[in-house]
Chains A and B, each alone.
Chain A
């Protein structure tokens, strides 16, 4: 079972796509150019603080709002290993899977962790924090396959023998 350990950043409820990437930066040339502005309406300093392998823990309805696919792409480009939230908005959920960004639903973790804490995620099994284990529901295998291939296009290329 895939397992990884990292530091968490903690956000609240209803983190919308205009928070994740405000409209005014969508015209920038590349996702890399947009990453410094991730979460800027809420926490302008956050994008520079996130290190590869970190995780985001949030409340309900993460990713609500626009269908802009730049939202999960930017989170992935920042090196965020996964987002753990009480719930995700559906378009964001689909876009994340299609871009190979792992999302985990969990009700209890957000209240238990402090920013900077270390957690260990065992995919499709549980999250460990300070010796406490939080069970997580498993994603259907076809979605896991898409995420581990790095997204829908890569998964289809693999399936069609192109890579």
Chain B
């Protein structure tokens, strides 16, 4: 049989066929369907208003998470949450509210290697950290899969990233993925899968892996996939789950392009406004004045990221002209941070600690920035207006760089702090 990539193997399994190849279109069974309060109300409206015989193919596949506007900030969002909550209750849909950002909730509780998962959210590609094919869809595609249990997918070509070496001290997975996006550009992986493997993968923690896969959509990727090794299997076991399939790309599988990346060469990096691929070494941005700093999001709000931030902030104070928001990615992360005393460090430093939610990264709930203001963020995007006023500026960096900048009041790397 023709050698296949991980993406091809997952699609073949979901399509119930032996072999697929890039460019084919297949009808697939979708394993799980994630939706959040960003758009679920629209899906529900379509379900009620546009279908002749509305029904759900398999309710056990649905996971709904309220995470974008938590807690509600207006009667409008309260109404849309109520619509979602009532529908979930009526149909018996697995429902989370306030538990955290949907992708972190999915990683902690639901994702299994080898699954094909649709999420009505662009950062669904995060699930590749566990070897699952997660891909973002809009609400019409979501509704179709919810009603039929199926959808169609174009089998993507794959970009392969062979990782070697180890990230240097003070350099993080976020620096790695921002470097890669800068290298291949914001549409360098458009329609494609980004696959990561090689001996360097073993040096990346699950938190690192989620951060890398999660951001691949910012290079246009349809999905991201990492080889499932002991790190992934241990995480899965700890969380009480077992794989559906553990797939590895075959020897001789076809890649659109292969990149070799020595993790040891990665340095702290910053993505400047207003594009994620507008990256420069963090030191080149040193001295840019900031008004707000944000540590959180599905990309970088895990316990490992909070530990990094706390190590920088311990015994220091947030600059008097800067607001620092710390937002754990889930309740589980929050509880762990409490246990480890990290929240004490954040509060003593003068940070504002918020409940687990999408927060500033979504730009419509907590901590939006005003006209002419500058934010440094561990969020997912720095598009124009993404974090508030259309004329504002967002820089993306690692938790270490964000924490150090919050102390200095200007963009600074942790090693530059006195």
Q: Is A126 on the interface with B (CB-CB < 8 A)?
A: no
User: Which one, B140-148, B241-249, B300-308, is touching chain A?
Assistant: B140-148
CB–CB A26/B364 < 8 A: yes
Interface code B128-151, partner A: CB below 8 Å = 1, 0 otherwise? 000000001111110110000000
B-side contacts of A19, CB under 8 Å: 383-385
A-side contacts of B138, CB under 8 Å: 67-69, 91, 94-95, 98
User: Which one, A3-11, A58-66, A106-114, A128-136, is touching chain B?
Assistant: A58-66
Q: How far is the CB of B134 from chain A (nearest CB, A)?
A: 12
* A12→B217 CA distance, assembly (Å): 20
Interface code A7-26, partner B: CB below 8 Å = 1, 0 otherwise? 00000001010110011101
Contact among B38, B121, B390 for A40, CB-based, below 8 A: B390
Q: Is B174 on the interface with A (CB-CB < 8 A)?
A: no
A-side contacts of B46, CB under 8 Å: 153
Q: Which parts of A49-97 form the interface with B (CB within 8 Å)?
A: 60-61, 64-70, 87, 89-91, 94-95
CB–CB A41/B385 < 8 A: yes
* A67, A70, A153: residue with the most chain B Cβ atoms closer than 10 Å: A67
Contact among A16, A61, A67 for B137, CB-based, below 8 A: A67
CB–CB A24/B384 < 8 A: no
A41 and B187 in contact, given A24-B363, A67-B122 (Cβ under 8 angstroms): no
Q: Is B220 on the interface with A (CB-CB < 8 A)?
A: yes
Contact among B25, B121, B140, B368 for A151, CB-based, below 8 A: B140
A-side contacts of B139, CB under 8 Å: 69
* A40→B389 CA distance, assembly (Å): 11
* A152→B137 CA distance, assembly (Å): 13
Give the number of chain B interface residues (Cβ < 8 Å): 43
B-side contacts of A60, CB under 8 Å: 187
A64 and B39 in contact, given A23-B364, A91-B136 (Cβ under 8 angstroms): no
Q: Is B205 on the interface with A (CB-CB < 8 A)?
A: no
Contact among B51, B76, B191, B390 for A41, CB-based, below 8 A: B390
A61 and B122 in contact, given A41-B384, A41-B385 (Cβ under 8 angstroms): no
* Interface of chain B, main secondary structure: loop
Q: Is A159 on the interface with B (CB-CB < 8 A)?
A: no
Q: Is B112 on the interface with A (CB-CB < 8 A)?
A: no
A87 and B141 in contact, given A19-B383, A23-B386, A153-B50 (Cβ under 8 angstroms): no
CB–CB B42/A69 < 8 A: yes
Q: Is A42 on the interface with B (CB-CB < 8 A)?
A: yes
B-side contacts of A41, CB under 8 Å: 384-385, 390
Q: Is B362 on the interface with A (CB-CB < 8 A)?
A: yes
B-side contacts of A46, CB under 8 Å: none
Q: Is B162 on the interface with A (CB-CB < 8 A)?
A: no
B-side contacts of A90, CB under 8 Å: 190-191, 220, 222
* A95→B363 CA distance, assembly (Å): 22
Q: How far is the CB of A161 from chain B (nearest CB, A)?
A: 10
Q: Is A99 on the interface with B (CB-CB < 8 A)?
A: yes
CB–CB B386/A18 < 8 A: yes
CB-nearest residue of chain A to B122 = A67
CB–CB A69/B39 < 8 A: yes
A-side contacts of B385, CB under 8 Å: 18-19, 22, 41
Q: Is A1 on the interface with B (CB-CB < 8 A)?
A: no
* A120→B143 CA distance, assembly (Å): 35
* A130→B103 CA distance, assembly (Å): 49
* A153→B384 CA distance, assembly (Å): 32
* A157→B50 CA distance, assembly (Å): 9
A61 and B363 in contact, given A40-B390, A66-B122 (Cβ under 8 angstroms): no
Q: How far is the CB of A42 from chain B (nearest CB, A)?
A: 7
B-side contacts of A61, CB under 8 Å: 186-187, 190, 220
A95 and B141 in contact, given A67-B136, A68-B39 (Cβ under 8 angstroms): yes
Q: How far is the CB of A140 from chain B (nearest CB, A)?
A: 8
A-side contacts of B336, CB under 8 Å: none
* A58→B120 CA distance, assembly (Å): 26
Contact among A18, A40, A44, A152 for B140, CB-based, below 8 A: A152
* A94→B362 CA distance, assembly (Å): 22
* A64→B381 CA distance, assembly (Å): 11
Contact among A64, A156, A157 for B186, CB-based, below 8 A: A64
Q: How far is the CB of B17 from chain A (nearest CB, A)?
A: 19
CB-nearest residue of chain A to B362 = A23
CB–CB B121/A18 < 8 A: no
Question: Can you show 18 pairs from A to B with CB atoms below 8 A apart?
Answer: A23-B362, A23-B363, A24-B363, A27-B74, A41-B384, A60-B187, A61-B220, A67-B138, A68-B39, A68-B138, A69-B138, A94-B138, A95-B141, A98-B138, A98-B140, A98-B141, A152-B140, A160-B52
Question: Which residues in B have some Cβ–Cβ distance to A below 8 Å?
Answer: 25, 38-39, 42, 46, 50-52, 74, 76-77, 80, 119-122, 136-141, 143-144, 186-187, 190-191, 217-218, 220, 222, 275, 362-364, 368, 381, 383-386, 390
Question: Which residues in A have some Cβ–Cβ distance to B below 8 Å?
Answer: 14, 16, 18-19, 22-24, 26-29, 40-42, 44, 60-61, 64-70, 87, 89-91, 94-95, 98-99, 140, 151-153, 156-157, 160, 162
Those 10 A-B pairs whose CB atoms lie nearest each other, nearest first:
A69-B138, A95-B138, A41-B390, A41-B385, A98-B140, A61-B187, A23-B364, A18-B383, A27-B76, A67-B136
